[in-house]
Amino acid sequence: MWNIADKSLKSRLFIGTALYPSPQIMQDAIRASGAGVITVSLRRQSPQQKGGLQFWDLIRDLGCELLPNTAGCHSAAEAVTTAQMARELFGTNWVKLEVIGDDYNLQPDPFGLVEAAEQLVKLGFEVFPYSTDDLVLCRKLLDVGCRVLMPWGAPIGTGRGLINPYALQTLRQRLPDTPLIVDAGIGAPSHAAKAMEFGYDGILLNTAVARAADPVVMAEAFRLAVESGRKAFEAGLMPERDLASPSTPVLGTPFWQQES
């Protein structure tokens, strides 16, 4: 168990609910992942009209914490309105905040993101902002009251993994007490393991599992990768070095010389 935003979770893997071949495969994959948190995107439907109620009931049956997101929002005002609708529908003050600034790579709008985060914190939300790996932006988000940060590994859905390891490691080193979750761009279990080895607190992904040939098996692979990466970080990875060092010492080892 670990604690984040005043809740205890059984897993450090967060997983999405979109793009699966069927609702049954989605449920099976999420269970195989062992994820403690699942993300859901609020469609432009009124909670009073019970839009998508059957789908939300299916999600609730999984017994995970819900993290509604403001996917598709392009302004702070739109994101704040969507977050308020999500809180009414799902009964949670958690929100994954997305304010998209570019439709080509879905890069967050840093100005709109900080503006929306500040408003939502004042409205009592626990804001999980999806951001780039920029240290200054992340500090601005902390300044307006965010307690968790979710920098990208790569643009959403690209599967490129950790395109800027230096920036991600810098964030971890400079913000040692802030929960950090890599969100977006994770395409393989090895990407997730590497982020966890850096000391990140969790991984949020969707496409890499949902679009796999076998989403259920891939979900299990990510579960194991996140667990192993975290264990490796906690155990302490050996430092990299340029000089080779034998694993078996030669001092005190007998040598035999063949006589001619």
- Active site members: 96
CA distances from 18 to 67, 73, 99 (A): 13, 17, 18
Q: Are 52 and 45 in contact (CB under 8 A)?
A: yes
What three-state secondary structure class fits 3?
Answer: strand
Name all contacts of 23-27 with Cβ < 8 Å and 24+ positions apart. 23/55, 23/58, 25/215, 25/216, 26/210, 26/215, 27/58, 27/61, 27/62
Specify the DSSP element, H or E, that contains 166: helix 165-174
Instruction: List b or e across 168-202, with b for residues whose CB sees 16 or more CB atoms inside 10 angstroms.
Output: bbebbeeeeebbbbbbbbbbbbebbbbbbebbbbb
Place of tokens 């609702």: 23
CA distances from 59 to 56, 68, 71, 84, 86 (A): 5, 12, 18, 19, 14
Token readout for 243 is 């000089």
Instruction: List b or e across 48-68, with b for residues whose CB sees 16 or more CB atoms inside 10 angstroms.
Output: eeeebeeebeebeebebbbbb
